[in-house]
Amino acid sequence: MYFRQPIPVRPARERLLDAAERVVVESGATHLTLDAVAKSAGVSKGGLLYHFPTKEALLEGMLTRHFAEVDAEVAKRLARRARRTKASRADVLRERVRVLLELHPERPAVGAAMVAASADSPGHMAPCRAQYRRLLDEFAKLPGGFERAALVLLAVQGLLLAELLHLSPYTRGERARLAKALLRAAEQCGSTQ
C-alpha cells in the first residue's frame, strides 16, 4: 500500500511573514499594512494580530527572520568547511559577504521592508544598526582592522541598496566581477599584509 508523506505545514508566524513579503513584492513597501497582510495570508486580522500586534512588530519580525536566515546559512556553510578545518573570523566574514550577495536577489522584500521601516520611523532600524555594529566589532578584530572590515561591509551594503532601489548600473557580468572583488577584499581582511 502506498502512503503519501504529509506535506510539512509551516508555522502560522512564518506563513504571515511570507505573506508580508508577498505584499511588499507585489504591491510595494508603502502598501504593507496589517489588513493587506491578513488578506494575503488568508487569515482574519485578529489572527494576524495574535502573532504581530502592530505593524512595527511585523516589520521587526521580517527583519529578525532575515538576520536569522543569513546567520543560519553562514553557519551551515561554515559547518561544511569545519569538517576539514576550524573556521576563522576571516572565513566568517567571507561567507557572510557571499551569502548576502547570493541571497539578496531572492529576497527583495526584506530590503524593501527595511526601507519601509526606515521611512516610517528611523527608530525601527535600531535592530539593524545593532546587528551591523555587532558584525563590524567582530570583523574589526581581523588583522586588516576596522577600516578594511568597514569598507567591505559598506561596499556590500551599497551594492545591495543600489540594487534594491533599482539604481544599480551594473550588468550581470560587472556585478559578478564586483562580487568576486568583494570576496577577495573580505579575504584580505584576514591577512596581515
d(CA 124, CA 57): 9
Q: What is the pTM of this model?
A: 0.78
Which grid cell sits at 10?
A: 509551516
DSSP readout, 131-144?
Answer: HHHHHHHHHTTSTT
pLDDT at position 21 is: 84
Predicted pLDDT of residue 112: 65
Could you read off the pLDDT of 10-23 as tens digits, one per residue? 788 999 999 988 88
Q: Give the SS3 label for residue 52.
A: coil
Angle at CA of residue 37, ends 32 and 40, nearest 5°:
125
Task: Give the pLDDT score at 30.
Answer: 77
Taking 70 as the pLDDT cut, the residues of the chain under it are: 1-9, 82-84, 104-110, 112-121, 192-193
Q: Which of 186, 193, 188 is nearest to 92 (CA)?
A: 186
pLDDT digits (tens, 9 = 90+) for 79-118: 887 666 777 888 888 899 999 888 755 466 667 666 666 6
Domains of the chain in sequence order: 9-53 (1.10.10.60), 60-189 (1.10.357)
Retrieve residue 63's grid coordinates: 527583519
Is-contact 44 34, C-beta < 8 A? no
Provide the H-helix boundaries in the chain. Answer: 12-27, 34-41, 45-51, 55-82, 89-103, 108-120, 126-139, 145-164, 172-189
**With left for phi above 0 and alpha for psi between -120 and 50, is residue 44 left, alpha or beta?**
beta
Q: What pLDDT is recorded for position 16?
A: 94
Cα distances from 31 to residues 28, 40, 117, 192, in angstroms, run 6, 12, 12, 48
All three cell numbers of 132: 551591523
